[in-house]
Amino acid sequence: MPTLQVRDLEQDLYDRLCAVAKREHRSIAQQTVVFIEQGLDGHMRKQPQWKIAEEERIAKRRALLKSIAERPPHTVPADFPSTAELVREDRDSR
């Protein structure tokens, strides 16, 4: 059976773990395994928070792109300067 070693565990967390283990009549190792199982079971059942946030970002992006696509096309006047002329004008003004 594999062994798990936890380093740099804060004293308060360790004390709380010991208190729960004592209350449940388990060793610290047994209580730790129970908590890990509960955490993993709960994690596997629900969708991770980062995944929810990612789906919300994708939905917002799709809504934005849809609103842009629904706008009427923008027409540029025939006498409007080209991008090269605009860049040249900007460089010359410095």
What are the pLDDT digits (tens) for 38-80? 888 776 666 666 677 888 889 999 999 999 999 998 888 889 9
Structure tokens at 51: 């995944």
Which domain range does residue 47 map to? 11-70
Q: Does the pLDDT value for residue 19 go beyond 80?
A: yes
pTM (2 d.p.): 0.47
> Tokens in use for 55?
């789906």
Asked if residue 78 belongs to a domain, the reply is no
For residue 61, tell me if it sits in a domain.
yes
31 contacts 20 by C-beta, under 8 angstroms? yes
d(CA 56, CA 92): 45
Coil, strand or helix at 49: helix
pLDDT at 39: 85
Looking at per-residue pLDDT, the higher value among 83 and 40 belongs to: 83
DSSP secondary-structure letter at 82? P
Asked whether residue 91 is domain-assigned, the answer is no
* Domains contained in the chain, number: 1
Percent of the chain with pLDDT over 70: 91
> What is the pLDDT at residue 44?
64
